[in-house]
Amino acid sequence: MTFSGQTVVVTGAAKGLGRAVAEAFYREGAGVALLDVDSAGRQVAEGFGSRGLFIQCDVSSGPAVEAAFADIQRWFGNVAILVNNAGIQAYGKVNDTTEAEWDRVLAVNLKSAFLCARQAIPSMLARGQGVVINVASAQSFMSQANVAAYTTSKTALLGLTRSIAVDYAPKVRCLAVCPSTIDTPMLHWAIEQSPEPTAVLRECEQMHPLGRIGQPEEVAELILFLCSDKASFMTGQPIRIDGGLGITIAGSKREK
């Protein structure tokens, strides 16, 4: 699945899943532009040499995204692959989520994918083909309690995925990758909000039939496959990578 000579843009690439995706594409020969508000992404990009470019960017800002893609065009040329991975978590039910919190989650998790796709797709069309990957969530299909804004944002990404797939076929494919619990800094931040983080982590492991949480590298490998010619007849679909989460009935017991 070599991506030699192709330009890949990964948002939220400084750490966690985004970093794993950026490193996987670099390993496979791509030039990688890493976008993130976290300056730690600069060190990651420096490890890629001339095939790495870090741009400190708030991808929920239209002018910032436009400027970033102009820099990418000058550095690498046309974009072949966009991975919309940037995302934040926030807790709250509808009645106790502030308007500012709602707007921020929807801006980072959903609007950023629209803004980046709007800049990347013309570049893909100019080169004749491209792939957009929207990192959604298992919570695009179900929801835990107390995450109204997050679940809404991740569900809406499936609609954006379908729209891009329909509007730009056959030159541009678009797919949503839907992970469940993945071992990332965002997960560890989330469980630290509990008075018993060790117990919460154990619960996260046990709720997956495979008995563990996923690793960022596992999701990155799926994204590589979906962006490759091996997946050339796939578009518009949500692809779950969830350790079996959601296929069992709550309360059912599995034999050990």
Chain centroid to Cα 114, Å, comes to: 13
DSSP-assigned beta bridge partners for residue 56:
36
Q: How far apart are CA 73 and CA 76, in angstroms?
A: 5
pLDDT at residue number 243: 95
**Cβ neighbours around 249 below 10 Å, total:** 5
pLDDT per 10-residue tile (average), the chain, 256 residues: 94 98 98 98 98 98 98 98 97 97 98 98 98 97 95 98 98 98 88 84 90 96 98 98 85 54
> Does residue 91 have an active-site annotation?
no
pLDDT at residue number 255: 55
Q: How far apart are CA 245 and CA 251, in angstroms?
A: 13
pLDDT at residue number 189: 83
pLDDT at residue number 126: 97
pLDDT at residue number 111: 98
CATH fold for the domain made of 7-181+215-241: Rossmann fold (3.40.50)
pLDDT at residue number 187: 86
* pTM of structure: 0.94
- Residue-level length of the chain: 256
Q: For residue 177, what are the contacts with CB-CB under 8 A and spacing of at least 6?
A: 133, 134, 135, 136, 219, 222, 223, 226, 238, 239, 241
Pair 35, 91: CB distance under 8 Å:
no
